[in-house]
Structure 1
């Protein structure tokens, strides 16, 4: 996989042709975004962190390292959906979309890192 084929972006940013295949990777639909405005190709709820992990993390930057480790363990148990997404990345540009305000401490960043090292 070319790492240049996989990007992350907040769902609140305007869609771009450069986004390629747009995948929402949040378990919950983002507030204030219509399905039309999102311009999604796919919503992969099942690749998001578990509700238990998401609730524990609660977007606390101090917990991010442990959250990242725990989420990667969850991702190893979601091999089928990760592999399917990796197959899409092999063929085209993919943008993982997320709603979190914190652009440094979020699950999409962890997912991208996991996928980059899994390819």
Structure 2
């Protein structure tokens, strides 16, 4: 199972394998204070795409389209996390304030599409 969670939310026993999926380190959290198993920068939106979305140059549907195209370039890392999600819970950690419209949700959907 693959799930998403804000990096600022408390750690839970249900989190399983915790993967930080933000390109930048989350504000206000010391590196040694974040409980995570991996920081997977390869599956994060490019700096250009991230900046375009946050500055509202592009809307969320356009962001999703471009981000999914970027993810196809990192298929091996995606398949690895998707396979792990079949064996145990994988929690994608993100810092975005919008819990419904963010890159981690797009990534979770994409990872789910990689499994049979």
TM-score, structure 1 as length reference:
0.90
Match of 1:103 among 75, 78, 99: 99
Which residues of structure 2 form unaligned runs of 5+?
Answer: none
Alignment length (residue pairs): 114
Alignment partner of 1:89 is 2:85: yes
Q: Give the whole-Å Cα distance in 1 for the aligned partners of 2:2 and 2:87.
A: 11
Three-state SS of the structure 2 residue aligned to 1:102 is coil
Structure 1: 5+ residue stretches without partners: none
Alpha-carbon distance change, 22 to 59 in structure 1, aligned in 2, over 3 angstroms:
farther
The 8 Å contact of residues 47 and 78 in structure 1, kept in 2 or not, is answered as yes
1:1-119 correspondence runs (5 A): 5-58=1-54, 60=56, 63-119=59-115
Q: How much has 1:36 moved relative to structure 2?
A: 3.2
Q: Could you list the runs of 4 or more consecutive aligned residues of structure 1 that deviate by over 3 angstroms after TM superposition?
A: none
Normalising to structure 2: TM-score of the pair?
0.92
Check conservation: 1:59, 1:105, Cα contact below 8 A.
no
**Could you tell me whether the CA contact under 8 Å between 2:96 and 2:102 is conserved in 1?**
yes
CA RMSD of aligned residues (A): 1.3
